[in-house]
Amino acid sequence: MKKIIYISLVASLLFSCSNVNESNISSQETEVRYFGALRNMMHKGDISAQVGLSDFENTAHLYAIGALENLKGEIQIIDGKPYNTSVKDSSILFDSSFDKAATLLVYATVKEWRVYDIPQDITTYEQLEKHVGLTAKANGIDVSKPFPFMLEGTASSFDWHVINWKDGDTEHSHEKHIGSGLHGTIENREVDLLGFYSDSHHAIFTHHTTNMHIHVKTRDNKIAGHVDGLTLGNGMILKLPSVK
């Protein structure tokens, strides 16, 4: 009798542990990882390859942004599909392959997003930054850790650039990064924007004045690059990783 009770207790404990492990896995938060750092570019002039994109070719639900090796273009991968861009003959050249390397890469895998309407009074970049942080916190995301987000809809305007760094130039600044390749301002265009938010990764994958690093792709696939300024349009939506 005692032996039967002992076996039952062991089985019950094993079943309980199994359920705990499964629960931990299903509720695991989205983890943001990165290679390279902005400060290494700015202060050390290190624009060498830090990781090959081919390492992620078979990663399901991959979302990533960054800069190509030697700062010869921009990286943007949405749900495993690359929209990488570089400059050739004063035009944007799209590359949908993983046959590139990155000097900076920020990435995460997101299986499911939740959609949130953005209030009409949220229009500026600064207002958006505050709104993203507050909305994430209110919906169970640990904002002490970095997390990805997306914006979709028609932007009133956005400033963009695709970097094309001059070979041999070792003096880096944010202004030179913008002006080295193609750049401009686009108004009233349907866009998909992918960003990463963190208040503890300044000079790593966000600049020291902001908690966000955002890239943009127009829905017509004419432009994809880094966002330098943004004014939201009415009816745009915010997407955050689903928290179980």
List, in order, residues 6 or more apart from 40 with CB less than 8 Å away: 46
33-107 and 113-241: identical CATH topology: yes
Is the confidence at residue 13, as pLDDT, over 80?
A: no
Quick one: which of 98, 100, 43 has its CA closest to 71? Answer: 100
Q: What average pLDDT does the segment 42-53 reach?
A: 93
What lies within 8 Å, CB to CB, of 74 at 6+ separation is 65, 66, 67, 68, 84, 85, 86, 162, 163, 215, 224, 225, 226
CATH number assigned to the domain with residue range 33-107, chosen from the 4 options 3.30.1330.80, 3.40.50.150, 3.40.50.11290, 3.10.450.50: 3.30.1330.80
**Domain extent listing, the chain:** 1-25, 33-107, 113-241
Residue 19 clears pLDDT 90, i.e. is over it? no
pLDDT digits (tens, 9 = 90+) for 76-120: 999 999 999 999 999 999 999 999 999 999 999 999 999 999 999
CA distance 141 to 159: 29
Confidence band of 244 (pLDDT split at 50, 70, 90): confident
For domain 113-241, the CATH class is alpha beta
What mean pLDDT is predicted for residues 54-68? 97
Query: What pLDDT score was predicted for residue 121?
Result: 97
What does the mean pLDDT of the chain come to? 88
pLDDT band with cut points at 50, 70 and 90 for residue 201: very high
Q: What is the C-alpha radius of gyration for the chain, rounded to an integer number of angstroms? A: 21
Mean pLDDT in residue range 143-155: 97
